Each structure stands twice: as structure tokens, then as C-alpha cells.
Amino acid sequence: MSDKIGSKIKQLREAAGLTQDDLAEAAGIQSSKVALIESGEASPTIAILLKIARRLGVRLGTILDGTEATGPIVTGTKQLVSTVNTQRSGETEHLSFFSLAGHKSDRAMEPFIVKVKYTEPIKENFSTHEGEEFLYVLEGTIDVYYGREKLTVGEGETIYYDSIVPHCVTTSEKDATAKLLAVTYTPY
């Protein structure tokens, strides 16, 4: 899926007359990372995708979607396709996102099912971007590091926060996994 996202970013960047350096600066990453994302060799985080989308003047969904439709969209569990995996230098992915509104052209929210694995809550694993996030824990227990706070959220519980504050979502135990319903909103 990364190659489709990468080629979409490249297409939108070229149409906007921007360079890889322009996107790198907006996303807070190196130009070489933009090249890897566009070629499908690297998976960007949601935070990086949001910053790239903002610089391109499009919704996150424009980058994540294939064909778009108006009207209601029904997505079943058999139709869930991993859209983004976060990967940090040499580590295994700790967040896998499955879009629940793929192909919905006029949405203001981005709903996902997210599978969470443990990651160290160190500065490099924190994310920050415009907007808000709502998480509902379907299975397991997560720790949400929000600024200087650590909040534990268990199965059946929710958390809603401003995503401009640096945050990191991980499982509470190293060998555990968790499953979330996540809804992000980013002002366009």
C-alpha cells in the first residue's frame, strides 16, 4: 500500500509545483525520506502524512484513497485494507491503520481500526499534528503519553485529545497487542 500512497503524494506534489524539499520542510523530515516515501520504500506516519497533506492543500483522505465516491460508504471487516504502518528506524511497526472510510470523497473525519504493538515512549516515537483524535479501545489496554502525562485506557474506554500536543500510543505491556477505533479530525 505504501507504493500507492507514495505515488499519490508524488502526483499531488508535482501538480502543485512543489519540490521534495518543500514537502520535507513542511513534514519536518529530510528530503531523502520524502524520496523513499514517494518510491514506496518507506511508510510515513499519520503525523507526517497529515503535514504533507496540509502542505499540498488536500485532505488526508485524498492521499489515502483510491477512487472516491459521494454518499454513504459501508466497510466490512473483509474489506479492511492496511493503509499505513508506522515504522521507526529498524524497529518493527507498532501501529497499523485500516481505513473505515476509504473512497468517501467529502469526509471531514478519518476513521480507522488501529492495531497497536508496544513501542518505547521516547521522544522519537511521539507524534504531533494539527487536529483532534478520539480513540475507543476495542481490545487490550493502551498507554497514551500526552505531553508529560501518562494515561492508561482499557477495553471499553475512550480518550479524546488535541493532537497538537506531543503524544505516543503504545500497549501497556511489551508483548501485548491492542485494537482501537480511532477517529482523527484535521482542520482543512
pLDDT of residue 153: 97
Distance CA 116, CA 141 (A): 10
Q: Are residues 58 and 122 in the same domain?
A: no
pLDDT of residue 156: 97
pLDDT of residue 89: 37
- The tally of domains found in the chain comes to 2
Q: Are residues 116 and 169 in the same domain?
A: yes
- Say if CB 49 and CB 60 are below 8 A apart: yes
> pLDDT tens-digit profile of 52-70?
888 888 877 777 765 455 5
Q: Where do we find the cell 497529515? A: 50
Q: Are residues 95 and 35 in the same domain?
A: no
Residue 71: inside a domain: no
Helices (H), the chain: 2-15, 20-27, 31-39, 46-56, 60-64
Q: Are residues 105 and 153 in the same domain?
A: yes
- pLDDT beyond 50 at 148: yes
Task: Say which CATH number the domain at 123 has.
Answer: 2.60.120.10
Q: Are residues 169 and 98 in the same domain?
A: yes
pLDDT of residue 177: 95
pLDDT of residue 159: 97
SS3 state at 185: strand
pLDDT of residue 74: 59
Could you tell me the residue range of the domain that residue 28 belongs to?
2-64
Q: Are residues 82 and 144 in the same domain?
A: yes
pLDDT of residue 102: 67
CA nearest 126: which of 149, 156, 104?
149
> pLDDT tens-digit profile of 96-139?
777 787 666 667 788 888 999 999 999 888 988 888 999 999 99
Burial of 70 (0-12, 13-18, 19+ CB in 10 A): exposed
Q: Are residues 47 and 98 in the same domain?
A: no
What's the grid cell of residue 89? 528506524
CA nearest 48: which of 102, 95, 109, 103?
95
Q: Are residues 100 and 140 in the same domain?
A: yes
Q: Are residues 54 and 136 in the same domain?
A: no
- pLDDT beyond 50 at 87: no
Q: Are residues 57 and 90 in the same domain?
A: no
Q: Work out the number of other CB atoms within 10 angstroms of the CB of residue 119.
A: 20
